[in-house]
Amino acid sequence: MISNADREALIAYRFLQAKETIAVSEFLFNSDKLPVAVNRIYYGIYYALTALALKHMFETSKHAQLLGWFNRVFISGNIVDISYGRIL
């Protein structure tokens, strides 16, 4: 278990990582590097979801578990409209 200060620092780092990764994806998209842009978009979203999960005291290194958690808590819980996710 990590300390609250470390958790907050990790959350901030993950959001920064998400923002930078999505900015890179925009550059790649504008450079017609679509497959790589899609990959960077995916990871930008992954980093943002990782930060959200940490904020809610959920930790995993597995992509499928993170998506399952998001669907269970935010989609099935009607916090986020189903059009933004898929119930697994």
Average pLDDT, the chain: 93
pTM value is 0.87
pLDDT per residue as tens digits for the range 6-19:
999 999 999 999 99
pLDDT exceeding 90 applies to what percent of the chain? 82
Listed in sequence order, the DSSP H helices in 1-88 are: 4-30, 34-55, 63-70
The better pLDDT of the pair 49, 85 is held by 49
Report the chain's terminal Cα–Cα distance, integer Å.
Answer: 28
Q: Please give the structure tokens belonging to residue 53.
A: 């999960």
CB 70 within 8 A of CB 87: no
**3-class DSSP assignment, residue 30:** helix
pLDDT per residue as tens digits for the range 16-47:
999 999 999 999 999 999 999 999 999 999 99
Task: Say which DSSP state 84 is in.
Answer: G
With vertex at residue 50, the alpha carbon angle to CA 25 and CA 4, rounded to the nearest 5 degrees, is: 135
